[in-house]
Amino acid sequence: MIEFAWLYALIPALALPFLIWLLPESRPVSGQALRVPFFRRFEASEQGGVQKNRWYQVLMLLAYALFVLALIRPQLLGDPIMMSESRRDLMLAVDTSGSMDTADLELGGRLVSRLRVVQQVAGDFIEQRDGDRIGLIIFGLNPYIQAPLTHDLTTVRELLEQTVMGLAGKETAIGDAIGLAVKRMREDETPEQVLILLTDGANTAGMVSPLQAADLAASEGLKIYTIGVGAEELVVNSMFGPRRINPSADLDEDTLKAISAKTGGRYFRAKDTTQLQQIYAIIDELEPTEREQDVVRPPRELFIHALVSALLIALIGQLLGSGLLRSGRRIS
């Protein structure tokens, strides 16, 4: 199947010869004048008179027709190919306050900090979101955009892994983090927008309360999944010997549940690395990568063939018009 990419160029191209024909011929003001044979040079000087060279006319008209054909860009369309495009924006908000340095989660057979586990598990989740746009917010005392919404999932994961504990402050401003996500995602018109907020504590700072921010998010159509991370039991050494403590005593689960309920999301509790992995798997099922199907037919440009043919024919016509290709004449 052949189509023309610039078919609109056909109108001025066909009108140009008529406009030139309508122009008045210039009259010499003296006995001598310089004559420039542009489109109107269809003359030959044989048999002692002035007559039109029919072959020259035909070749020039054919060359112009091929030039017009090249101008409107003929394209040969290839076989249909199904293309998919995701229409979902997903923002991750990760708590980097001082408590995220607590080493109460196991990874690779040893206890590591909560942030390190989040970096590993959330990083795997990011890589599985092929087609979605992913963004990253880190928050502590203040929230910051670490990565804007982008299809470059590799870069987002690298920025998450490079996040430093306490970079955004040692307190926790959950409401401000939600507010920043709403502000950033409001700039886009993607119908499906999701925020995954992960924290291990309670709101202890910020200008906006978490529930006020949740109301704002709900009004903007932003769905929020909240994750409370941290073990419920940890053995620590003290001067009286080993004792068990709850390192997640400060986790405000009621507020996190309320945030999700207001926005149509869900609250999850991750007490260990396995649970956190399962939570991200559940979210992946709840928020699958949606794709718009579209059919494209890759074009192959054909204008170059018409253009080269026009130039060759015009060259032959010029040689014929100048008499170099006439019988009985030689080029010396």
251-304, pLDDT tens digit by residue?
Answer: 999 999 999 999 999 999 999 899 999 999 998 888 766 555 566 777 888 888
3-state secondary structure at position 258: helix
Quick one: pLDDT at residue 326? 55
Neighbours of 19 (CB within 10 A): 9
pLDDT digits (tens, 9 = 90+) for 103-123: 989 888 898 999 999 999 999
Which 8-state DSSP code applies to residue 163? P
Whether the CB-CB separation of 114 and 105 falls below 8 Å is answered with yes
Quick one: pLDDT at residue 183? 92
Residues ≥6 apart with Cβ < 8 Å to 189 = none
Classify strands 110-112 and 81-86 as parallel, antiparallel or unpaired.
unpaired
pLDDT digits (tens, 9 = 90+) for 181-222: 999 988 776 777 899 999 998 999 999 999 999 999 999 999
Report yes or no on 287 lying in a domain: yes
Residue 165, token pair as written in the block: 């504990």
Q: What total of structural domains would you count in the chain?
A: 1
More confidently predicted of 235 and 112: 112
Quick one: pLDDT at residue 289? 62
Report yes or no on 90 lying in a domain: yes
Cβ neighbourhood burial of 275 (10 Å; 0-12, 13-18, 19+): middle
Quick one: pLDDT at residue 331? 44
* CATH number, position 194: 3.40.50.410
Residue 70 has pLDDT above 70, yes or no: yes
Report yes or no on 285 lying in a domain: yes
Average pLDDT over residues 156-183: 91
Beta-bridge partners for 75: 3, 301
Report yes or no on 62 lying in a domain: no
Report yes or no on 211 lying in a domain: yes
Report yes or no on 92 lying in a domain: yes
pLDDT digits (tens, 9 = 90+) for 6-55: 888 888 877 877 777 777 765 555 545 545 454 454 444 444 333 446 77
pLDDT, averaged across the chain: 82
Quick one: pLDDT at residue 155? 95
Confidence of residue 61 (pLDDT cuts 50, 70, 90): confident
Confidence of residue 154 (pLDDT cuts 50, 70, 90): very high
Q: Helix 210-219 to helix 253-263 angle, to the nearest 10 degrees? A: 10
Whether the full predicted model's pTM is greater than 0.85, yes or no, is no
Quick one: pLDDT at residue 44? 43
State which residues form the domain around 141. 83-293
Q: Helix 54-71 to helix 10-22 angle, to the nearest 10 degrees? A: 140
Distance CA 319, CA 329 (A): 12
Distance CA 70, CA 317 (A): 19
Distance CA 75, CA 302 (A): 5
3-state secondary structure at position 91: strand
Confidence of residue 246 (pLDDT cuts 50, 70, 90): confident
Quick one: pLDDT at residue 86? 58
Residue 86, token pair as written in the block: 């995701």
Cβ neighbourhood burial of 276 (10 Å; 0-12, 13-18, 19+): buried
Residue 82 has pLDDT above 80, yes or no: no
Average pLDDT over residues 223-237: 87
